[in-house]
Structure 1
Amino acid sequence: MNYDNLIKKAEILIEALPYIQKLYGKTVVIKYGGNAMINDELKNSVMEDITLLKYIGMNPVLVHGGGPDINKALQNYNVKSEFVNGLRVTDAQTIEVAQMVLVGKTNKQIVSMLNHKGGKAIGLCGIDGKLIECEQYKTEIDGELKDIGYVGTITKINSKVLELISKDEYIPVVAPIGVGPDGESYNINADTVAGEIAAALKAEKLMLLTDVEGVKPSKDSESIIPALTIDEVYDLIDKKVIAGGMIPKVLGCVEALEKGVGRTHIIDGRIPHCILLEIFTYKGIGTMIMKDKHLYHENEALY
């Protein structure tokens, strides 16, 4: 009998060993969004990845978006979507719909999928236990601050509830709705929520699932940069290599690192099992951003 294929599978498992050892008992915050929330195959693989992380001793915390679901619901209610500087203008009717969709539908669907995979997920939003305290965010247009409604900027993460849940056998699933000083609800960017939660929990990893492969060395490049330091990020922004919608993502990673997160990752959520491939292989599949290029393992490919 030829055991070559079985041996290769064993080698793949052994490659993961140093990462399992390093990350045992550590917190990994994952922002789930983009195409991975729409495609059924990708949904399935993300839920399997997160469930596996929990079973091998890590503490995953999932923060999700839900833009497409919100857009669809607003269309059903004949409410027009408007964006300013990439942020959704959120009037009283829009926040009501957004909260209904994010907390009542999207969050519970994710919880159900994780439970179906053998995990024990608990759905939360920022209102629960005042998990995410915030105030109204105003964006600058032509030198003036513009009120865009119930859009929040985070003032405090009360992480105790997440610590209690994630250190036990449960997987927290967080919808990005925060609570204001008078008890009002605010919609918050999910990338921002994930970064602030990762910082509050002093997570070992923050992972952003996106619809891009990672940071590229040039616009037309087919390759990605496997690892960057904070200084290299700023240099690439100055050189306009990092531009457009990638800038807030990398700066969110930098801010999380400066607040104590160990490593941050921007990965392509369109790749099945992207979380496992990024965490448990020497090279990974996305761009890792860290304070300095320290190795978990001597075989890591950081260059």
Structure 2
Amino acid sequence: MTETTRDPRLVVEVLSEALPYIQRFTGKTVVVKYGGNAMTEDTLIDSFARNMVLMKEVGINPVVVHGGGPQIGDLLTKLKIESRFVNGMRVTDAETMDVVEMVLGGLVNKGIVNLINQAGGKAIGLTGKDGSQIRARKLKVEHQTPEMTAPEIIDIGHVGEVEHISTDLIEMLAERDFIPVIAPIGVDAKGNSYNINADLVAGKVAEALGAEKLMLLTNVAGLMNAEGEVLTGLTTVQVDALIADGTIHGGMLPKIRCALDAVKGGVASAHIIDGRVPHATLLEIFTNAGVGTLITDAERHGNDAG
């Protein structure tokens, strides 16, 4: 059935189901980390932009933090600059950092801003350097083999971690009905720029804002158990146990730790959602079923999994 012939009764049912969630989250802040397939497939790009605008229209304050690793890699290749990785992190010398800033702060950031504006929203693009909103410090990477008596500290250049988030600029924009779109570039006290993992930035921004939700778009259905079933409605205690028993491992571990830290830091709930699904953010916020893994702090919110 096409959009022009969709049963109007179905539309009404959907709106009726969404109403309690709209009422519940009006005036709340939702931080969304945008990346992966949702950033590269045309239908998903369009649905993401419309999702952000709809959230703003119903009174929710979305804040977007985006990645851009593939786009950085593509430009480095075109410029014939070699990409090297240590523990999954790009070694970022001064030349590479210039490319990172061009791609994240320019091409990718302004592209997202334009898409949201074309969908009827009012987006403003920022990097963490604007207003010194993301204060960073150099990330120390340890490497150790069984033969080594002590870990080796590896210098991977302009790769940082979050030291402090200043929310004044983000809050000012949100109050004026703008949607902030933030590139994960931080700056230290000496003015040095650092590339920071977008998931980590999104988590720290959510903590600093006291956000209702942190939503991490990813390329999988969510956190899965050994049988391949998506786990959801998890508490921080349960997630800690899943890490301890090895259920959460590999590439999912850093993302889950980011979500876990955010909830322990005061964010009401964190969501690992499937960015390959059109309108994934709205499905997770406004429907009973959702579309991913929900993590909350049981001590603060009881059995509330909304």
TM-score, normalised to structure 2, is 0.93
Which whole-Å deviations, capped at 9, do the CAs of 1:60-106 have from their partners, x for residues lacking one?
A: 00000001110011011111111111111000100000001100110
Contact 1:28 1:60 in 2 (8 A): yes
Contact 1:179 1:185 in 2 (8 A): yes
Return the alpha-carbon distance in structure 2 between the equivalents of residues 4 and 127 of structure 1: 46
* Aligned match of 1:265: 271
* Aligned match of 1:50: 52
Contact 1:212 1:267 in 2 (8 A): yes
Which whole-Å deviations, capped at 9, do the CAs of 1:228-277 have from their partners, x for residues lacking one?
A: 10011011112211111111111111111111101100000000000000
Q: Secondary structure at the match of 2:231?
A: coil
What RMSD in Å do the two structures reach over aligned CA positions? Answer: 1.5
Question: Which shifted more, 198-207 or 229-238?
Answer: 229-238
* Aligned match of 2:192: 184
1:242 equivalenced with 2:248 (yes/no)? yes
1:277 equivalenced with 2:279 (yes/no)? no
Which 5+ residue runs of structure 1 have no aligned equivalent?
none
Question: Which shifted more, 4-13 or 243-252?
Answer: 4-13
Identity of aligned residues (%): 49
Contact 1:136 1:150 in 2 (8 A): yes
Contact 2:236 2:264 in 1 (8 A): no
> CA, structure 1 residues 228+254, in 2 after alignment: closer, same or farther (shift >3 Å)?
same
Which whole-Å deviations, capped at 9, do the CAs of 1:98-148 have from their partners, x for residues lacking one?
A: 001100110000000000000000000010000100111110011121110
Equivalences, count: 294
Return the alpha-carbon distance in structure 2 between the equivalents of residues 60 and 90 of structure 1: 30
Shift of 1:6: 2.3
* Aligned match of 1:29: 31
Alignment map for 1:158-169 (pairs within 5 Å): 158-169=166-177
1:145 to 144, 147, 153: 153
* Aligned match of 2:8: 6
Q: Secondary structure at the match of 1:154?
A: strand
Contact 1:150 1:186 in 2 (8 A): yes
Return the alpha-carbon distance in structure 2 between the equivalents of residues 263 and 195 of structure 1: 11
Shift of 1:296: 5.5
Return the alpha-carbon distance in structure 2 between the equivalents of residues 4 and 66 of structure 1: 36
Return the alpha-carbon distance in structure 2 between the equivalents of residues 252 and 104 of structure 1: 26
1:71 to 63, 70, 73: 73
TM-score, normalised to structure 1, is 0.94
Return the alpha-carbon distance in structure 2 between the equivalents of residues 9 and 224 of structure 1: 28
